[in-house]
Amino acid sequence: MNLLLDEIARATARLADAGAASPRADAEELAAAVHGVKRAELHTVSDGAFDARFWEYVARREAGEPLQHITGRAFFRYLELKVGPGVFVPRPETEVMVGWALDTLRDMDVQDPLVVDLGTGSAAIALSIAQESPRARVHAVEKDPTAFVHATRNIEDLDERGQVRLRLDDFGTALNELNGTVDLVVSNPPYIPMSEWEYVPRDVRDHDPADALWGGGEDGLDAVRVVERTARRLLRPGGHVAVEHSDLQGNAVYWVFAEENGWRDVRNRRDLTNRDRFVTARLGTD
């Protein structure tokens, strides 16, 4: 049997004992990163090419360090992003919201849609929209300097058509020059209330940046309220917004987008596990 595959099996058992949610996938991803191959190519690594640094990576994952911080990369839709300490690691749940955003852009009768991503982090959302909607012009806003560095690197590497413009700014006040002209606003803001601290997985609360997790206010939705106000300012009449939330906040976020503030067609939408995950709304034309 291939030596590396044997070692992956041993590592899987260690990570399972440590409580990793996906021990086999983690072990394979660590091995692929160390040996410079894709997971599907692990069987091609010869016994003589085995790199003992694999076990250093496994020990770090056992200790609770996020997989993506160890490998330095995260996969999101069709992208391979550079990530690390100081930037939020994008989650698969957010891919569903991006899918809705892309479908919405396709349905718009707009030749070159204008999109804003508030709190871009690694730029996962902004780059996915740019890659999959080639005529979109995307403005990405990030206020944290460390996350901004990661976003800059990813945009330089992946934005082949130059569609994404990155702004270091607070998403509550950014982009006043675009007021009333934007077709779509999308955001995965911080939304966890501090009262939920003990229930957040250790590798998340200890390693993801605090500003990307804790939303503020008793219900954790202060940042979502800022997104609502900013979206209302930026969108043209008939423009759309999508904002992510936890699976327990759907009803509360629904009411943030109140009809008296001009919002129409407010809907709570579900992720691939059939849990409430993001709210969408359209700014009224009346």
3-state secondary structure 3-40: HHHHHHHHHHHHHHHCCCCCHHHHHHHHHHHHHCCCHH
Annotated binding site for S-adenosyl-L-methionine: 142, 171, 188
Separation between Cα atoms, residue 245 and residue 54, nearest integer Å? 36
Nearest to 6 by CA among 49, 40, 59, 47: 47
- Residue 230 sits at φ, ψ, to 5 deg, of -65, -40
The catalytic residue among 23, 54, 76, 88 is 88
189, 193, 257, 278: the catalytic one is 189
CB atoms within 10 A of CB 167: 17
Specify the pLDDT at position 29.
Answer: 95
Cα distances (Å, whole numbers) of residue 60 to 23, 50, 169, 202: 13, 18, 34, 14
Establish whether 188 is a catalytic residue.
Answer: yes
Annotated binding site for substrate: 188-191
Q: Which of 113, 188, 193, 257 is catalytic?
A: 188
CA angle 88, 90, 91 (to 5 degrees): 125
Q: Note if 54 is an active site residue.
A: no
Provide CB contacts within 8 A for 89, sequence distance 6+: 66, 68, 69, 74, 83, 122, 208
Q: pLDDT per residue over 54-85, tens digit each?
A: 999 999 999 988 999 999 999 999 999 999 99
* Interval 177-213: pLDDT, tens: 999 999 999 999 987 766 665 655 676 677 777 676 6
- How far is 187 from 119, CA to CA, in rounded Å? 6
pLDDT at 196: 65
pTM of the model: 0.91
Contact residues for 198 (Cβ-Cβ < 8 A; gap 6+): none
Residue 253: pLDDT above 60? yes
Active site residue 257: no
Distance CA 255, CA 43 (A): 52
Phi, psi torsion values for 217, nearest 5 degrees: 85, 165
